[in-house]
Amino acid sequence: MSIDTAVPLGLVLNEIITNSLKYAFPGEREGEISIIAELRLNELYLKISDDGIGFTSLPEGDDKKTLGTRIIYSVVEGQLDGEITLDSSGGTSYELLLKEIKIVRRV
């Protein structure tokens, strides 16, 4: 993928994984963080999830979102022209669908 996609996507992944490490497993709690990536025609599907404690309530509206969550949504929806779904019904799961990903193949 192009550098214009890779850099902001790296920021998003870093933010989601950091949030999982900081908040999903309080105390001595153990758990898993998983990342699934699939290339679907010209779209990239990513699912980043943990089996931690989840949100006590899902952030809705910009006034309810933390700075990190606002960054995630802003980059995915604004910069990468993607869609994002957040589910906290058993841990926390972010599903991202990025459209028109161009894979750069080098020979």
β-pair type (33-40, 82-87)? unpaired
For the residues 14-18, what does the mean pLDDT come to? 95
Summarised one tens digit per residue, pLDDT across range 22-79 is: 889 998 889 999 999 998 888 999 999 999 998 766 555 555 567 888 899 999 999 9
- pTM of the entire structure? 0.83
Specify the pLDDT at position 56: 66
Domain boundaries, the chain: 3-98
Q: DSSP characters for the chain?
A: --HHHHHHHHHHHHHHHHHIIIIIS-TT----EEEEEEEETTEEEEEEEE-S---SS---STTTS-HHHHHHHIIIIIIS-EEEEEE-SSSEEEEEEE-SPPP----
Does position 18 have pLDDT exceeding 90, yes or no? Answer: yes
Say what the alpha-carbon torsion angle 48, 93, 100, 103 is, to the nearest 10 degrees. Answer: 10
Fold entry, domain 3-98: Heat Shock Protein 90 (3.30.565)
